[in-house]
Amino acid sequence: MTGESQIGEDIKPLDPNSVASVVRYGSLRHTLSHEATGYSLVYNQLYPFQGLQNYTSGIIHHVRLTGLEPGAQYYYQCGDPSIPAMSAVHAFKTMPISSPQSYPNRIAIVGDLGLTYNTTSTIDHMSSNEPDLIVLVGDVTYANLYLTNGTGSDCYSCSFPQTPIHETYQPRWDYWGRFMEPVVSTIPLMVVEGNHEIEEQAEHKTFLSYSSRFAFPSVESGSFSTFYYSFNAGGIHFIMLGAYISYYKQGEQYKWLERDLASVDRTVTPWLIATWHPPWYSTYKAHYREAECMRVEMEELLYSYGVDVVFNGHVHAYERSNRVYNFSLDSCAPLHIMVGDGGNREKMAIKHADDPGECPDPLTTPDEYMGGFCAFNFTTGPAAGKFCWDRQPDFSAYRESSFGHGILEVKSCFHNLNSLWFSYLL
């Protein structure tokens, strides 16, 4: 990013073409023999009424490097050599080749980060584990927990009851980017959207900061969308799904998911991992069964292709399921792991829906951005006829209310068999 963002009533967007987008790179620190040119953009966050401060971003540069070797280290610097203004030299490592025998050493899974003391603790601990890849499962900066005058709030739903459009303080994105630069300048980060990235503004535009600031392999994975895509990390195929756009069977995302799943060659990428923001199998009271319509629509497809693990965020706690399909234990079904506790300023989720007196009214559970009502009473099992269990459900293996992050590893066992290891770390 170059130039300064502006916030106020009289903002003038910068000219994105006023600075070139160039990356010089190579395998030797002092010989950056390759050069790639990209494109640049600015985005605005505008409100259709008086009294709020509009925002226009600095110039955001995107440059795509092609022809990189797998599993190799590259050095790079970015900027505009004609000014001249180039960054310091950074280094990153590409993902290993897609093969059942090659994997990143460690993959960090983190969600619901924000920018608080808990965030810095999480990112410090995560960095000390030296991951080769970071997967961010949505809710990035929580800029929409701040008014345009920068005043913060701890409660999304109760703080802005009167405004026709929810305010956001977009400089939080700039702060977050500066905070994360030492990490993301050296470690690849893949992100999928959460509800805090919706950030509705004038003309009902949404997700503008999210879609402008991050890069997505959308074309490469045939989705052509910033909201859902897939990629390989060695022998793992990751599928990133959007929960706040159409997930219905007749929609583009579902059709793309069918195509993507059908194209996965498990002899090349034996592990299949799916990721989206709001969990299907959280037992916490907060957001309880909120994503039920998405589960009803998509679960069978993911199950039929043998997805191994699902990662989610959204609920501010940790929970790991047993293998579960349609709320029943099933040894062929995915594990669901929720790490929605990176450190944001909202409250930690503590109460469970199965705690005495804590089962929510079903009609309060849908999310306005996620479609209709699908969370009916259970029809089978110990909770048949009820909306909540009266004890920790058998599909819930472990749950803990704390801030932390996950580390995923593929470890080789005897006879070339690999196994997936997941650690939850505070």
**Catalytic position from the list 287, 316, 336, 352:** 287
**Residues near Fe ion (CB under 5 A), total:** 4
190/264 with CB nearer Fe ion? 190
Task: Quote the least distance from Cβ 21 to Fe ion, whole Å.
Answer: 32
139 binds Fe ion (CB under 5 A): yes
Measure the CA–CA gap between 182 and 199, rounded to whole angstroms. 26
Inter-residue contact 193 to 227 (CB < 8 Å): yes
Instruction: Please identify which residue in 16, 114, 194, 270 interacts with Fe ion, judged by CB under 5 A.
Output: 194
275 binds Fe ion (CB under 5 A): no
Measure the CA–CA gap between 388 and 89, rounded to whole angstroms. 54
State the SS3 of 342-402: CCCCCCCCCCECCCCCCCCCHHHCCCCCCCCCCCCCCCCCCCCCCCCCCCCCCCEEEEECC
188/194 with CB nearer Fe ion? 194
Inter-residue contact 258 to 224 (CB < 8 Å): no
**Is 287 noted as a catalytic residue in this protein?**
yes
DSSP state of 172: H
Binding to Fe ion (CB under 5 A) within 24-43 occurs at none
What Cα–Cα distance (Å) separates residue 305 from each residue in 120, 243, 274, 332?
A: 38, 20, 11, 10
144 binds Fe ion (CB under 5 A): no
Q: Among candidates 290, 293, 288, 295, which has minimal Cα distance to 310?
A: 295
195 binds Fe ion (CB under 5 A): yes
Q: Looking at 87-95, 136-144, 152-160, 364-372, which segment touches Fe ion (CB under 5 A)?
A: 136-144
21/195 with CB nearer Fe ion? 195
Residue 93, beta-bridge partner list: 73
Sequence-ordered list of residues with C-beta below 8 angstroms from that of 329, at least 6 positions apart, any chain: 322, 323, 394, 395
Q: Looking at 6-14, 267-275, 309-317, 382-390, which segment touches Fe ion (CB under 5 A)?
A: 309-317
19/208 with CB nearer Fe ion? 208
Tell me which residue has its CB nearest to Fe ion: 314
Task: Quote the least distance from Cβ 309 to Fe ion, whole Å.
Answer: 20
Q: In what order do the strands lie in the sheet with 418-425?
A: 189-191, 133-136, 107-110, 405-412, 418-425
Q: Looking at 143-151, 182-190, 263-271, 307-315, which segment touches Fe ion (CB under 5 A)?
A: 307-315
139/200 with CB nearer Fe ion? 139
Binding to Fe ion (CB under 5 A) within 74-103 occurs at none
40/118 with CB nearer Fe ion? 118
Instruction: Please identify which residue in 213, 289, 314, 320 interacts with Fe ion, judged by CB under 5 A.
Output: 314
Q: Looking at 4-12, 268-276, 311-319, 392-400, which segment touches Fe ion (CB under 5 A)?
A: 311-319
Q: Among candidates 13, 59, 55, which has minimal Cα distance to 38?
A: 59
Measure the CA–CA gap between 40 and 372, rounded to whole angstroms. 38
Task: Quote the least distance from Cβ 340 to Fe ion, whole Å.
Answer: 7
Contacting residues toward Fe ion, per CB under 5 A: 139, 194-195, 314
Which are the catalytic amino acids?
Answer: 287
